[in-house]
Chain A
Amino acid sequence: MSIAFWQKLDQTVRSITPFGLSLLLVILSVAPTYIPGYAQIAPILALVSIYHWAIYRPNLLPLFAVFILGLLQDLLIGSPPGLYVLVFLTVYGMTLSQRRFFTGKSFAVYWFGFAVVSLVASVESWVVGSVWNFALLDFNAVTFQYLLSLGIFPIIAWIFLRWQQAFLRQE
Chain B
Amino acid sequence: MEQRPSALLRIAVPLKSSAQRFMYLGLIAVAFGLMLLGKVDVVLVDRVRAEVTDVVVPILEALSRPVATVSKGIQNFQELVVIREENAILKQQNARLMQWQTVARKLQAENIALQNLLGVVHDKNANYVSARVIAGSGGAFANMLIVNAGEIDGVRKGQVVISDRGIIGRISGVSNRSARVLLITDINSRIPVLIENNRTRAIMTGTNTSRTKLIHLPPGARVTPRDRIITSGHGGAFPSGLPVGVVASVSDGGIEVQLFADYAKLEFVRIADFGLKGLVDMSVQKNSLKHKAGGRTGKK
Contact = CB atoms under 8 A, between A and B. Distances in A.
Interface string A30-43: 11111111111110
A139 B59 CA distance: 31
Given A67-B27, A82-B31, A137-B187, A110 B1 contact: yes
B45 A81 contact: yes
Interface string B179-220: 010100011100000000000000000011110000000000
A86 B137 contact: no
B141 A104 contact: no
Contact of B136 (A27, A39, A62, A142): A39
B97 interface: no
B139 interface: yes
B52 A63 contact: no
Contacts of B71: 33-35
B3 to A, nearest CB: 5
Contacts of A28: 63
Contact of B23 (A33, A63, A132): A63
B11 A58 contact: yes
Interface in B3-62: 3, 5, 7-8, 10-15, 20, 23-24, 27-28, 30-35, 37-39, 45, 48-49, 52-53, 56, 59-60
A77 B53 CA distance: 10
A137 to B, nearest CB: 5
B67 A34 contact: yes
A85 B30 contact: yes
Given A63-B23, A89-B31, A93-B24, A82 B137 contact: no
A83 B188 CA distance: 16
A51 to B, nearest CB: 13
Nearest to A34: B71
B209 A138 contact: yes
Interface in A88-129: 89, 93, 96-97, 99-100, 103-104, 107, 110, 125-126, 128-129
Interface residues of A, number: 65
Contacts of A29: 137
A82 B38 contact: yes
Nearest to B146: A30
Interface residues of B, number: 69
B83 to A, nearest CB: 19
Contact of B35 (A83, A96, A137, A145): A83
A137 B28 contact: no
B140 A138 contact: yes
Contact of A133 (B14, B53, B187): B187
Given A41-B139, A75-B49, A103-B8, A81 B37 contact: yes
Nearest to B173: A78
Given A40-B210, A82-B38, A104-B3, A75 B48 contact: yes
A136 to B, nearest CB: 10
Given A30-B60, A33-B71, A96-B15, A137 B140 contact: yes
Nearest to A97: B15
Contact of A59 (B12, B31, B52, B208): B12
A63 to B, nearest CB: 6
Given A63-B14, A63-B27, 13 more contacts: A31-B60, A32-B267, A59-B12, A67-B30, A71-B34, A81-B34, A82-B37, A96-B14, A99-B13, A137-B140, A138-B208, A138-B209, A142-B140
Question: Ordered nearest first, which 4 A-B pairs have the shortest CB separation?
Answer: A82-B34, A78-B142, A39-B138, A79-B141
28 contacts: A30-B146, A32-B134, A32-B135, A34-B67, A39-B138, A39-B263, A40-B209, A58-B13, A63-B23, A67-B30, A70-B31, A76-B135, A76-B137, A78-B49, A78-B182, A81-B45, A82-B30, A89-B28, A103-B3, A125-B140, A132-B35, A133-B188, A137-B140, A137-B208, A138-B207, A141-B139, A141-B208, A170-B3
